[in-house]
């Protein structure tokens, strides 16, 4: 028990805990918009498409500094998501085909660049691989500060654009008709999500990031209808999952943080949906019972 306490109050555990919670909140909160816009897999695309940008940024700048790589990832993610929009809307390929195509080709480009960088003897390029599978344990206090700063900026941005954003999330057609700059706001939302995704890659890696984007919103959706509480609840769910992952991983060395976070948040979503379905059934049964009683007494 004392040993457990010692682990919990350890500085690096606190760092990972804070970082994981922040990341979970960021991706969960921003992911809500993507889920509402039926673009749940946008996080997946942004994560895969980030890789060529990350490697290019590293090759061009010669540095592994996080801000540099984030800028590269962001640029690449936004570029490829624009390609995705064009392919999905203006060709026969459709949303599904376009998504898979962009995801796999952009990631292949990233891998090709990565292997080219590695073969040229850049030892530091190997470190980029943590983006593929996450390495929460490597979070430094400086990273957490950066995360908090980014979170503040994004929250401020979302708050500023709030009424228009809410419209765009729920009814873009109406928003466009009353003069809201829908395209610009959608691009901004994609950009914000791209930032969250790129940062979240450190926690869970490219395969699992989708869960952090989708599950919190799905967990919150059946219980909350209005956008502000929905985003808040999704962020809270994401944060809780992040914290659970960090704690479990600190106690059990064999359990990597990223996967535990994903299991926690996805189970939350599944349980939430199951409860909602049960609640729906109960209501239907109660309604039917009421109707039967009314008929019986008429």
Partner 1 sequence: MIGALQGWIDDPTVATVLLGAVVGMAATVVGTFLLLRKSTMLTDAIGHSVLFGIVVGFLVVGDLHHPALTLGAALAGLLTVAGTRALEATGRVRSDAAIGLVFPLLFALGVLLAGRYAGDAHLDADAVLVGEIGFAWIDVAPFFGLELPRALRTMLVVLALDAVLVASLWKELKVGAFDPGFAAAVGLAPGAVATALLAATSLTAVAAFDAVGAVLFVAFVVAPPAAGLLLANRVGTMLAIGLVVSVAASIGGYAAALAYDLAIAPAMALVAGALVAGALLVGPRHGLVAHVVRSRTRGLDLDARALLVHLATHAEAEAEARENTRPALREHLGWRAAKVERVVRHALDGGFVERGRAGEGLRPTGRGRAWIEEAGPEGETRGG
List interacting residues with partner 1 (CB under 8 A). Answer: 35, 38-41, 43-44, 87, 91-97, 99-101, 103-105, 107-109, 111-112, 115-116, 119, 129, 132-133, 207-208, 210-211, 213-215, 217-218, 221-222, 254-256, 258-260, 262-263, 266-267, 269-270, 273-274, 276-277
Which is closer to partner 1, CB of 181 or CB of 222?
A: 222
Cβ of residue 12: shortest distance to partner 1, in angstroms? Answer: 19
Closest distance to partner 1 from the beta carbon of 91 (Å): 7
Rank residues 168 and 213 by Cβ distance to partner 1 and give the closer one. 213
| Surface-to-core class of residue 253, CB atoms within 10 Å of its CB (0-12 exposed, 13-18 middle, 19+ buried) | exposed
- For residue 16, the minimal CB distance to partner 1 (Å) is 17
Contact partners, residue 196, CB within 8 Å, separation at least 6 = 23, 26, 27, 30, 31, 154, 213
The residue (of 271 and 286) whose beta carbon lies closer to partner 1 is 271
Q: How many CB atoms lie within 10 A of CB 88?
A: 18
Least gap, CB of 149 to partner 1 (angstroms): 28
CA distance 145 to 150: 9
Q: Do the beta carbons of residue 216 and residue 265 sit within 8 Å?
A: yes
- Which of residues 95 and 155 has its CB atom nearest to partner 1 in the complex? 95
Least Å distance, CB 98 to partner 1, is 9
**Least gap, CB of 171 to partner 1 (angstroms):** 17
Question: CA torsion 178→184→185→190, rounded to 10°?
Answer: 150
Nearer to partner 1, 180 or 266 (CB): 266
- 15 versus 32: smaller Cβ distance to partner 1: 32
User: Which runs of E-coded beta strand occur in the chain?
Assistant: none
Q: Closest approach of Cβ 159 to partner 1, in Å?
A: 26
In what helix (H) or strand (E) does residue 202 lie, and over which residues does it extend? helix 182-220
Which of 99/202 has CB closer to partner 1? Answer: 99
The Cα-based distances of 39 to 10, 45, 100, 169, 176 in angstroms read 39, 10, 13, 11, 19
Between 30 and 41, CB nearer to partner 1: 41
Quote the CA–CA distance of 179 and 173 in Å, as a whole number: 10
211 token code pair: 């869960």
Distances 248 to 90, 189, 192, 266, 278 between C-alpha atoms, Å? 47, 32, 29, 16, 30
Taking the C-alpha atoms of residue 13 and residue 2, their distance in angstroms, rounded to an integer, is 15
Q: How far is the CB of 263 from partner 1 (least distance, A)?
A: 5
Angle at 233 between CA 232 and CA 234, to 5 degrees: 90
């Amino acid at each position: 028990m004392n040993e457990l306490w010692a682990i919990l109050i350890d500085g690096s555990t606190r760092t990972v805990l804070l970082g994981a919670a922040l990341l979970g909140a960021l991706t969960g909160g921003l992911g809500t918009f993507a889920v509402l816009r039926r673009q749940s897999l946008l996080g997946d695309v942004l994560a895969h498409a980030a890789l060529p940008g990350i490697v290019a940024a590293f090759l061009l700048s010669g540095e592994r500094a996080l801000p540099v790589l984030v800028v590269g990832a962001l640029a690449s993610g936004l570029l490829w998501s624009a390609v995705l929009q064009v392919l999905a809307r203006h060709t026969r390929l459709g949303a599904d085909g376009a998504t898979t195509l962009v995801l796999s080709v952009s990631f292949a480009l990233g891998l090709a660049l990565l292997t080219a960088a590695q073969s040229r003897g850049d030892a530091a390029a190997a470190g980029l691989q943590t983006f593929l599978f996450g390495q929460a344990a490597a979070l430094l206090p400086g990273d957490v500060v950066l995360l908090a700063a980014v979170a503040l900026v994004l929250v401020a941005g979302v708050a500023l654009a709030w009424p228009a954003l809410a419209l765009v999330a729920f009814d873009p057609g109406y928003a466009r008709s009353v003069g809201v700059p829908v395209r610009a706001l959608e691009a901004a939302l994609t950009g914000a999500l791209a930032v969250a995704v790129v940062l979240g890659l450190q926690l869970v890696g490219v395969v699992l990031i989708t869960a952090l984007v989708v599950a919190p919103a799905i967990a919150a959706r059946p219980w909350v209808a209005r956008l502000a509480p929905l985003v808040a609840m999704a962020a809270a769910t994401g944060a809780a999952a992040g914290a659970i992952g960090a704690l479990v991983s600190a106690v059990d060395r064999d359990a990597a943080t990223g996967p535990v976070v994903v299991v926690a948040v996805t189970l939350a979503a599944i349980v939430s949906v199951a409860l909602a379905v049960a609640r729906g059934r109960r209501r239907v049964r109660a309604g039917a019972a009421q109707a039967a009683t009314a008929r019986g007494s008429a």
